[in-house]
Amino acid sequence: MSDVATRRPKQDWVAWHAAYDDPNSALSWRLAVIQARIRSVLDGLPDGLIRAVSLCAGQGRDLIGALVGHPRRGDLSGRLVEPDPHNAAAAARLVRESSLSRIEVVTADAVGTVGWQGSSAWRANGLVAVRTGSTSASTSLPGCPPGG
């Protein structure tokens, strides 16, 4: 590893997520846009099982929030992959509180195979892809850095 990489300060992703709780923040606006885009993708999919994987999922507010109250929520099974254990724990709490029993949270680095192994769809850094049977749909999400 280079000297530059080892001297770079680490991002505090837990603190970064706190801005989502401020309804006037840019992140709160960003989250609403992303959730609307995810709902739109779900609305356009044919009937049947939907599988999704969110890499660098952060606290999972994007996917989980989009599923709350959505008519297709029971069709979706998925995996949220997040390397930060505090954010992964927050995502797991949100999954439980939202009664999304078919969503699992994995604390792992998205670069490795543990996080996405066995999954047929993914979301990472601004792309949402979901799969139902042999049909796939995806959408680009504006302003979507890792850590949804």
pLDDT value, residue 44: 86
pLDDT value, residue 61: 93
pLDDT value, residue 132: 43
Tell me the pLDDT tens digit for each residue of 21-62.
899 998 899 899 989 989 998 898 888 888 888 888 899 999
pLDDT value, residue 74: 93
* Pair 45, 66: CB distance under 8 Å: no
* Three-class HEC string of 7-56: HCCCCCHHHHHHHHHCCCCHHHHHHHHHHHHHHHHHHCCCCCCEEEEEEC
pLDDT value, residue 21: 87
pLDDT value, residue 4: 52
Residue ranges for the chain with pLDDT beneath 50 = 1-2, 120-129, 131-136, 139-148
pLDDT value, residue 134: 46
pLDDT value, residue 113: 55
**Which residue segments constitute the domains of the chain, with CATH numbers given?**
13-140 (3.40.50)
pTM for this prediction? 0.73
